[in-house]
Amino acid sequence: MGNLFRRATNHMPPISSKDIIVEIGSAKGPGGSTHFFADLAMRHNTVLHSIDIDDRTHVFRDIPGVIGYQQAGSEWAKNICPSLNKNIAVLYLDNYDYNYWVDTDSDIADNDGPVLQAALEAVRNQKNEYLQKHNFIMCNQDCVIEHLKQMIFLLPFMSKHSLVICDDTYLSNDCWAGKGAAVVPYLVINGYHIIETENIHGSSYGVMLTNAK
């Protein structure tokens, strides 16, 4: 989990009564993005719409100022968002996971180091979870496509002065990779520019964009 989302506070756009905050990919517990954005929303007299494909009733129900939805982000973006008659002032995209080891099907070998063994074990468990719970095979290209679909559906509803934060998104050989690999260029050709990046080697990455002039 990256921490760039916490820096949204430093770039908050003006919030009118029509503006909302949206995150796709909810926190698993206290200390995550849902608590942070719910608090930010309350301080700006608005609400947080939080969407997750998994059951997150504990965060949806227990945090004041959160309207929760259990569904895929692209479905919410396509079917629910247009019916709200709201604009999105802050959008946090941090859902379908992107994993460096996702294509590794090899067995864990005794001579693999403990860090590699743990990474392979974790991705294997996550692939099983996605397959069993949601009936899809986890793959990085589908992660990038899912995030791009969300952004394409949401772009018409973004406020004139808005922030988009993509977690797990980083430069590789001068091209964007990770969850927001397609979202970043899509936003740039639609008038957004990058205002912050986070690049903590080996752990977490993120990028923040705005369409403010």
Ligand X SMILES: C[S@@+](CC[C@H](N)C(=O)[O-])C[C@H]1O[C@@H](n2cnc3c(N)ncnc32)[C@H](O)[C@@H]1O
Binding stretches for ligand X (CB under 6 A): 1, 24-27, 32-33, 51-54, 72-73, 94-97, 146
Q: How many CB atoms lie within 10 A of CB 39?
A: 15
> Shortest Cβ distance from residue 43 to ligand X (Å)?
19
For 161, residues 6+ apart whose C-beta sits below 8 A from its C-beta are 13, 14, 89, 210, 211, 212
**Sheet bearing 66-70, strands edge to edge:** 66-70, 48-52, 19-24, 87-93, 158-167, 204-210, 193-200
Q: What are phi and psi of 84, to 5 degrees?
A: -80, -25
> Shortest Cβ distance from residue 97 to ligand X (Å)?
6
Closer residue to ligand X (CB): 14 or 62? 62
**Helix-then-strand count for the chain, H and E:** 7, 9
CA distance 130 to 149: 19
Closer residue to ligand X (CB): 108 or 131? 131
> Shortest Cβ distance from residue 4 to ligand X (Å)?
10
Q: Are 109 and 121 in contact (CB under 8 A)?
A: no
> Shortest Cβ distance from residue 41 to ligand X (Å)?
15
Name the residue number minimizing CB distance to ligand X. Answer: 32
Closer residue to ligand X (CB): 52 or 198? 52
> Shortest Cβ distance from residue 169 to ligand X (Å)?
12
Q: Which residue from 4, 91, 81 is spatially nearest to 41, judged by alpha carbons?
A: 91
Closer residue to ligand X (CB): 58 or 161? 58
> Shortest Cβ distance from residue 107 to ligand X (Å)?
26
- The CB-based long-range contact list for 191-197 (8 Å cut-off, 24+ gap) reads 192/164, 195/11, 196/4, 196/7, 196/11, 197/4, 197/170, 197/171
